[in-house]
Structure 1
Amino acid sequence: MSLGLMLVCAMCLDAALGEPDWLWSRIKHPAVVIGNLIGWLDKRLNHGAARRAKGVGVLVLLVCGAWGLGWALSLLGPAVEILVCAILLAQNSLVAHVRAVGKGLMASLAEGRAQVARIVSRDTRDMTEAQVARSAIESAAENLSDGVIAPAFWFLVAGLPGLLAYKAANTADSMIGYRNEKYRAFGWASARFDDLLNLIPARLTCVMIVALSGQWSRWREIMADAHRHISPNAGWPEAAMARALNVALAGPRSYDGKVRDLAWVNGDAPREIGASEIFRACHMLWSVWGLALGLVSVWVGIDLIY
């Protein structure tokens, strides 16, 4: 069975089932296992001298270990590959978490804050309704790239070993890839490698959002916003999503009690947004998923013909 056909099956399986609580309440999700390992390595190694070298070693260990595990699992046949791929795709769970923020806001601002705190690392206690909505939409755009398009891309490129290696690097970046005193040296390699792995997927995600929303005339604006963004990759899908929804994203936000005055994305668009814009973002998430599924399906069809 081709990688493309296995990916189509995995995408459909993830969309249909997501992450069932009955399963992950009994066993640990692979991402949790990877995270626990990274946390253990962080405690053991992130101190003393040569922290950058130690961080490089951690990344090599994680990526090589994940690649080897993926290779071993691929020997068990297509059914196992499809199942593991579906588990490591995050379309269904992403939409569910983002939609929960919109539903929370409809109930109360406090509930909206509680729900968005589950998906962002910034301070949420004093967020306004618009800040909650912007945070949810930004997370939707970034995680569409990191959690759906990038895993699918690397599965197509390098099969299950490539997918697991990407997931290990991406999880490491999310845990230790911060530019603060604690992780600036130790997490440097993980952050830079994750930037490299997401270089193409982030731009693919952007192009698909632009294609679906018909915003080609604003491509120069999207590029400008993407280049001003704090992340070399997240700005691309975020800038495209902002224009697809006609909303302003990013701007000032607080981390650990300190306000960071970040640049606005599509800053001339409406900034006072709410639950309805979050639900529109969820619709775009499914639209991009559908386009990606269609493109892979066409590729599979052409491959079968020739």
Structure 2
Amino acid sequence: MVALGTLPVRVEPPVTVLLAVLLDAVIGEPPETIHPVAIFGRAIAGLDRRWPSPRLVGLAIATLAPVSVAALAWLAVSALPRVVGTVLAGLLLFSSISLRRLLGSARAVIDATETHPGRARERIPALVGRNPEPLSSPQLRSGAVESLAENLADGYVGPLLAFVVGTQLSLSVGIAAAVWVKAVNTLDSMLGYREKPIGWASARLDDLVMWLPARLTAVILAVAGGRPGALWRARQFRTQPSSPNSGWPMATLAVVLDVRLEKPGVYVLHPDAQLPDGDTATAAIRVVAIAGAIAGLVSMLLVAVPSVPESLFAMAVGVARC
């Protein structure tokens, strides 16, 4: 920690965020064979089967699995010298966030809808969990745009926010918090379906953990799109999806772009607008990329000081109460 005038400024946490964000921008994802999230997923996949007491087993998995990997991250970072620990923390945070891959997957689907809708249907399962066969090109683009908004919260803002909060105690606690959030989100994506009783606890925990990140993501998307007033209009549609969280970023991006987003037979956001065309869907990629840059920069600024500004939380709570 160094002093900037009378304000103490920390070095390791912002360097950690910078390293993670730069690696994500340049590389996108670590190789799957060594990707911590992929390794965690393979371990959990072995537990995804029938159990005599699935809800009890699901509660144990949701409780113990994220805590175990977070504890390993905390031990690894805290046991190493400062410089080496900072580098490891950056690598672990890098493996906990994902923006470039999200943007690339969405672009692949959106570009394919213009010339090869069949190819877009083959690629859309990487982004959304719906049957792609009956979807038209505009509906495929809608799914890609929805995924951009939702996964910006789940796969980027959520881990960064956890790191910001945790680093108020120490760098190792910060990275443990980010890893814990990523593990919770991974469990939900693997197990959190109604047809899987084992996933009920993972789904409920993810709902709780993502409450604040989803609302902060909505704020960031409105700023990135240059339409802060979108938050007020988005509140009309935020409850359409069954998720208590995903409606906020998706509805906000729909209003920012002035497009209709829909999951056929399930929900419609901003129903008076048209489904996204190619140009509008491409604009969504740009808005989400800017939002990611804002989230990374703000995270670096926040972790440089020894306390989290209360205005960050007050802003999200204010949005939620609208």
TM-score normalised by structure 1 residue count: 0.87
Structure 2 letter corresponding to 1:179: R
Quote the offset at 1:302 in angstroms.
5.8
Distance of 1:6 and 1:28 partners within structure 2: 20
Q: Secondary structure at the match of 1:161?
A: helix
Q: Does 1:178 align with 2:193?
A: yes
- The answer to whether the Cα contact below 8 Å between 1:133 and 1:277 also exists between their aligned partners in 2 is no
1:292 correspondence with 2:295: yes
SS at match of 2:186: helix
Q: Which moved more, 1:279-288 or 1:9-18?
A: 9-18
| SS of corresponding position for 1:41 | coil
State whether structure 2 residue 239 is matched by structure 1 residue 227: yes
Aligned to 1:79: 87
User: What's the RMSD between the two structures over aligned residues?
Assistant: 1.9
- CA drift of 1:235 comes to 0.5
1:38 is aligned to 2:44? yes
2:16–2:89 Cα contact (<8 Å) kept: yes
Structure-1 residue corresponding to 2:176: 161
Match of 2:27 in 1: 17
Partner of residue 255, structure 1: none
1:251 to partner: Cα distance? 3.9
Q: Which moved more, 1:155-164 or 1:142-151?
A: 155-164
| CA offset digits 1:47-70 (Å, max 9, x no partner) | 32x321111111122022112111
Offset of residue 166 of structure 1: 1.1
CA positional deviation for 1:214: 3.7
Structure 2 counterpart of 1:265: 269
Q: Does the Cα contact within 8 Å between 2:257 and 2:280 map onto a contact in 1? A: yes
Per-residue CA shift, 1:5-37, capped at 9, x if unaligned?
3112211221122126xx43xx24222211112
Distance 2:89 2:43 in 1: 23
- Structure 2 residue matching 1:227: 3-state secondary structure: coil
What residue number does 1:52 align with? 55
* Residue of structure 1 equivalent to 2:229: 217
Residue of structure 1 in register with 2:278 after alignment? 275
Unaligned runs of 5+ in 1: 253-260
Q: Alignment identity in percent?
A: 30
Q: In the TM superposition, what is the alpha-carbon distance from 1:301 to its structure 2 partner?
A: 5.8
Indicate yes or no: 2:211 matched with 1:203.
no
Matched, 1:188 2:200: yes
1:237 correspondence with 2:238: no
Relative to the length of structure 2, the TM-score reads 0.83
Counterpart of 1:101 in structure 2 is 109
Go from structure 1 to structure 2 and tell me whether the alpha carbon gap of 1:293 and 1:165 turns closer, same or farther (over 3 Å shift): closer
- 1:105 and 1:274 in contact (8 A); partners too: no
Q: Distance in 1 between matches of 2:256 and 2:271?
A: 14
Provide the rounded CA distance (Å) in 2 between the counterparts of 1:202 and 1:60: 22
